[in-house]
Amino acid sequence: MLEPPVKTPCIGVCSTGIGDAVCRGCKRFCHEVIDWNGYTPQQKKIVDNRLSGFLSQCVSNKLQVTDKALLQWQLNVQQLAYNESHDEYCWVYSLIKAGASQIADSSEYGFMVDRLYHDTPLTELREMIDTEFFILSQAHYERYMLTPDLFEQRNTP
């Protein structure tokens, strides 16, 4: 069975056009935004895996999925777009991105807020997660894209 093609992570809020090395919208690196249509399916999957891994990490720092099936059911009932190949923490982000202000009881959606953030509104948590996701992507870019000599130094005698 063929894997479905990786969809562009673009959300239509690109900041690479104004000089950002990492897009504030989709969190891809500027060269990934520019070259996306020329990437092979494998290259797109690598970028997608990095982004979904970072997002999942940022979400799981603040929210816990308690019922994956309920979460998925809610996403389907609400007719919200989400990537089934990503984990449930990415799904939660899709949910709160679309309707954080409308969720009064997170348990009805299959997740709970970590006790450290219990008094923080979901809309604010969503912004905190997005900011953390951007910072993580930017740090990865600075560490691995701006220091190509890092790998060359290891291989020299």
Q: Where are the domains of the chain?
A: 16-146
Q: Which of 55-59, 98-102, 145-149 has the lowest mean pLDDT?
A: 145-149
The pLDDT value given to residue 4? 86
CA distance 87 to 50: 13
pLDDT for 100 beyond 70: yes
What are the φ/ψ torsions at residue 26 (nearest 5 degrees)? -95, -10
CA distance 33 to 10: 8
CA distance 137 to 130: 11
Tell me what the mean pLDDT of segment 14-37 comes to. Answer: 94
pLDDT for 156 beyond 60: no
The pLDDT value given to residue 152? 60
The pLDDT value given to residue 153? 54
Helices and strands, number each (H, E), in the chain:
6, 2
